[in-house]
Structures are given as structure tokens and as C-alpha cells.
Amino acid sequence: MASLSTELAVGPGVGGERHGPGHSVVRRALRTASQETDRSPCHRSHPSSTLCDVNEGSDLGVVIPTQNRWSVLERTVEALRRQTVTGFQLVVVVDKGAQPPSFLNGVQVVERSQGGVSAARNTGLAATTLPIVLFLGDDTIPDVDLVARHLAVHRRHPQAEVGVLGAVRWHPEAARGRLQRWLEWSGNQFDYRTIVGEEAGWGRLYSSNVSLKRQLLLDVGGFDEDFVFGYEDTELGLRLDAKGLRLLYEPEAVVQHLHRYTWPAVERRFLLVGGAEYLMVRKHPEVPPHFLQKLTSHRPVSPVSLWPRLVDLVPSWAGRLRREAEERADACYSKRLAPGFVAGWLAAAELDELGEPVLDGQFEQVVSARLGEQRWLGELLPLLPRGSPLLAMGCSATLAMALADAGYDVTFVTQSPADRGVLRRRLQNRRVAGDRLAIKELEDLGATDGFAAGLVFGSEGAGVEGPALAAAERRSALVAVSLPGRRRPDASEPNRPGGAATSIKRGRQAQGATVLRRRYDDGSELRVYRGGGPRHLLRGPSRSRPPVEAAKAYLGRWLGRRPWVPPNVSRPARRG
């Protein structure tokens, strides 16, 4: 990802990466290609630091992965056909079973071995035998001299370890959007503004416009196919750096990025990046979690801040004022993106700790579940004193551990000894959570145990009426129950989960009285009501609330709060 470049561009090289089973097919092809290259006349007749002459297009292959985005791909292919240099190879990698349109006639089309951009690029790499490989995106439309510019730098620097980074600029049809401008000046997608001189640094290896010597790529095994989306090019740059990569910046080798972002698309992008950053730090513990640190430690932000709109009114020549406006606007964006990013990180951590593939299969399902729990906790936790004792009977073990890491005393009720064993194994390397998280079965709860809140999330029908809910109601001052999407209740239905054992009394302080009720766009609902637990647990240290904080609490109560973002997200543990 782009914003790592400032921190990592001159970072130390490391090796020892771990690859998943998704590598097998393409990796065997890459190893075979590497062996054939070693036996080729060109490779034998030159030292390892040089290549055959790179003075014509026939030395270069262009690799473009696509996922059925035919309309924008057609514009990219047509721009390549108008290049000032001819004779280069064009490889388009498509999904398995895709029906290529007619504009790809004459283009080498290959099917990827499995899902994900890494697998697609490796498939394209295996399909070419040319000494230089230029990676583009299907929505990065090249200027007419793009290939010539890349070849010119390689001609001046024929050494195997030299790569060329081209510039990515917004296409005029997409450049006017506010989100596009933010992505550019913040460096959250591509960080070109901080490049000094011609050395770009490995942290800026952007596969939307970068050319590398094929032999160097083969030497490191290509892209790591565990990375389905996000961080795949940064991780490759890290391994190439260990082989001596010099990435030279050619600002005149330009592609026009034709991608119109919407806010839901940006949120989904950062949700996926959250999982990818976890995997990056998991494989390379020395790499700092850039986005995790940025999105969870931004400056305080008003819930009605206008800085995302005002920043565009501050001219770039305003110096310090412009930097202050950018920092404030970026903090607003960070606050909005943090819940989804952290949900992606937590989902990847959960799957990794359970021995499942991190960014495949169940990832998006687990992300959706974690984000739902964060949403419910965002409503509940402001009602509780910090560090309150919590009874977790329906939330995931992942969120229970995150609550413990955040300073809450959590009692997590498991359904079986097997579940308890799995959770204990996950806790082995979590010192903070292990100190503040007790694992019990339902029958182990003492009659005198009391909790500020009982969490009964993911309740389904009869599950709401079972012994777990009854136990939570007896022991908790507040009970938080989430209900799946269903019809709206009749006016005659009680103002709490139907069928629960405790009778309803009128008044906000009566047991069973609703404290908060929130219905969401997907039809799901959160209900928080009074339980029979000790009320004193809801009273925190007495302190006067500043007017601004009181106003924010009032607005959050009536307009809805942002999902909870755990303040102390655990980093992956080292493994042997």
C-alpha cells in the first residue's frame, strides 16, 4: 500500500516469507521458467547483473490482470496499441471461464490459476519470456510514450536489480472527485509527493505502473499469492529489496487512473487492506502496521467536522495553513475508515489463530460479523464506566479479547470444553487479554457474580429465550441483545426481547425497561434494557463532563454512534 513508502522506502531487507498452498501451481511454473532462463544463451553470455540489450519493444512484456471490467480495459488496450514503441508483448489475465470480448483479438489472454491479484500477476509473469515485465492495472490508461519511457530507463540501467516506477495520475474523467483529491494529497493510495531524486525506494513499488527485470522476479518467486488484495506489491518490494532492488522513478512514464471512487468503495477497500496489513505484519514482524497506527491514533475529530470539504478551499501555496487543513481533514476520514479497517484486521487475526487461510474463503463473512459487533459496542460502551466488568455470552471470542485488551474485565462464557480449549490456545500470546479475560461455562457462574452489562449478540429466535439470556438478565445491570433482520414489531409487542423471563415494569429504572433501541438499515436491531444485576456497577468515578463531551454524547444517543474501534489492537505473535 502506498502510504507505507515514507516509512519503509529505505527499510532493511528481509527474507523468510511464508507462502500458502495457493502458490503451488504458478510457483512451479515460475521455477520452471527460472531454470529455462538460466539455460538461455542470453543468460549464459552475460554476468548476472546485466541483461540482453533493451533497445526495442520486443524486450518487454506488459501484464494486465482484469476482473471482467471490459469497458475500461478496452480503453487501456487501445492506448497500448497507439504506443510509439511497437513489438512488445501484451498479456491480459482474466478470470477462469471468462469470455473475452472481441477487442482482445490479437492479445494473449490467459486465465488465472485462482482468485486474487497476486495469482493473476504471477500467471501473467509465467506467460511471458521477455527480459522486462511491465505491470499495469486494467484502469490505468497509458500515455502514448509509456513503454518507450520505461525502456529508456532500462537501457541506461541494464542491471538485473534495477526497476522503473512510473507515475499514476488521475484521468480527467475521474480527477474532480473529492475522494480522489483526498487519496492524492494524503498519500493513502500512491505517495509520489515525498520522492526526492530518482530513487523511489522499495516501499513505493506500485504494480499499477512498474517495470522489473523478469529474472529478478523469478529469483524471489513472484508475488505472494496469500495476498488476495492489498499489500501484495509492497510485500514483493520488501523481498526484492533483499535481492538488491533499485527502484528508479521516471515521472514522465505516465498512466491515467480512470477509477471513480465512491465512499462505500473506499470503505470496502480499507476493510480489505485491514486484513492484508495484518498478514503483512504477520509474515514480516519488523514492518510497522502503518494504517493500523494511523487510523486508530488520529487527532480528535468533531462529529460534525467540515474539514473534508474545507480543505479543498485552502490553496496549496498556503504552506502551514494547508498542512493543518490536510491533517484535520485526514483525521476525519481516518475516523470514518477505522471501524472497517479494524474489522478486517480482527477477522484476519481470528482466521489466522484458528489455522484458516487469512484472506480467502470465510474472510468477508467474518469481517461482516465483527463489524456488526463493533457497531453494537459503539452504542453500548458509552453507557458504561471505563473498565466495567462485562459478561460475554453471545459475542465472538475475538471481540471479547479486544474488550479485555481495552481494559474491560471480561467473563467469556463458552458453549463447550472444546470451545474453551480453542480460546485458551488463542490467548497464549496475549498477555493483556489473558490477565483480564476469564473463561467459564454457564454453570460455573457464581450466584454473586455481577456485571455492568451482559452481551448477548447474534441472538436468533429461541436463543433469546434460553438459559444464557436468563443468566445474563439476573447478573447484569444492563443487557444488550442484538436481533437479526426481521419484520417490524407490532405496537402490542413489549419494548424488549420477546419471551424473556423477567416481567416488564414501567419507568427507566425498572428491571426490563428499555434504555436504548436502535434499528439499522439491514433490518437488524440492538436493544439495551435493564437487568437484575447490581446498579452500582453503572456508576463510574464522579466527574463533571465538559460541555463539548456532553453535547457529543447527546448527539450520539439520538443520531447513532460510530462503531467501536478497539484502542489496543493486538499485533500478530511471532511463531517458530
pLDDT tens readout for residues 145-182:
999 999 999 999 999 999 999 999 999 998 888 899 89
Give the model's pLDDT for residue 572.
79
Question: Is residue 8 within 8 Å of residue 234, measured between CB atoms?
Answer: yes
- Sequence letter at residue 305: S
pLDDT tens profile 265-324: 999 999 999 999 999 999 999 999 999 999 988 778 777 788 889 999 999 899 999 999
Give the model's pLDDT for residue 434.
58
Q: What mean pLDDT is predicted for residues 367-381?
A: 91
Indicate the Cα dihedral angle 195, 198, 201, 205, nearest 10°.
Answer: 90
Q: What mean pLDDT is predicted for residues 415-436?
A: 70
Question: Is residue 203 within 8 Å of residue 240, measured between CB atoms?
Answer: no
* Weakest-pLDDT range from 30-44, 237-251, 279-293: 30-44
**Strand, coil or helix: 485:** coil
Question: pLDDT band for position 510 (50/70/90)?
Answer: low
Give the model's pLDDT for residue 143.
97
Give the model's pLDDT for residue 522.
80
Give the model's pLDDT for residue 66.
93
The DSSP letter of residue 228 is S
- Sequence letter at residue 511: Q
Closest CA to 363 of 344, 377, 379: 344
- The share of the chain scoring above pLDDT 70, in percent, equals 78
* Weakest-pLDDT range from 246-255, 425-434, 524-533: 425-434
471: left (phi over 0), alpha (psi -120 to 50) or beta: alpha
**Strand, coil or helix: 65:** strand
The cell for 415 is: 458453549
Q: Is the pLDDT of residue 41 over 50?
A: no
The cell for 57 is: 519493444
Closest CA to 217 of 422, 105, 337, 61: 61
The rounded mean pLDDT for the chain is: 80
Domains and CATH numbers, the chain: 2-11+19-261 (3.90.550.10), 386-487+497-540 (3.40.50.150)
What residues are paired with 349 via a beta bridge?
Answer: none
- Sequence letter at residue 134: L
Give the model's pLDDT for residue 469.
84
**Strand, coil or helix: 344:** helix
Give the model's pLDDT for residue 514.
87
Q: What mean pLDDT is predicted for residues 338-343?
A: 94
Q: Is the pLDDT of residue 30 over 60?
A: no
Of 96 and 29, which is predicted with more confidence?
96
CA distances from 123 to 74, 116, 126, 225, 550 (A): 20, 11, 5, 11, 57
Q: What mean pLDDT is predicted for residues 128-155?
A: 96
Give the model's pLDDT for residue 252.
96
Q: Is the pLDDT of residue 358 over 90?
A: no
pLDDT tens profile 529-563: 999 988 888 875 544 445 544 455 545 554 557 89
Give the model's pLDDT for residue 429.
62
* Weakest-pLDDT range from 49-53, 77-81, 299-303, 512-516: 49-53
Indicate the Cα dihedral angle 68, 218, 31, 133, nearest 10°.
Answer: 40
The cell for 59 is: 524486450
Question: pLDDT band for position 433 (50/70/90)?
Answer: low
Q: Is the pLDDT of residue 432 over 60?
A: no
Element (H, E) at 140: strand 140-142
Of 404 and 11, which is predicted with more confidence?
404
Q: What mean pLDDT is predicted for residues 230-253?
A: 95
**Strand, coil or helix: 397:** helix
pLDDT tens profile 455-509: 988 654 334 457 788 888 999 999 999 887 654 444 333 333 333 323 223 334 4
CA distances from 376 to 277, 362, 395, 517 (A): 25, 22, 10, 11
Of 12 and 268, which is predicted with more confidence?
268
Q: What mean pLDDT is predicted for residues 60-79?
A: 94
Give the model's pLDDT for residue 528.
92
Question: Is residue 174 within 8 Å of residue 180, measured between CB atoms?
Answer: yes
pTM for this model (two decimals): 0.83
How many alpha carbons fall within 13 Å on the CB side of residue 241?
21
Give the model's pLDDT for residue 511.
63
Question: pLDDT band for position 49 (50/70/90)?
Answer: very low
Give the model's pLDDT for residue 236.
96
Angstrom distance (rounded) from CA 186 to CA 208? 18
**Strand, coil or helix: 541:** coil
Closest CA to 271 of 347, 369, 336, 341: 341
Angstrom distance (rounded) from CA 160 to CA 76? 28
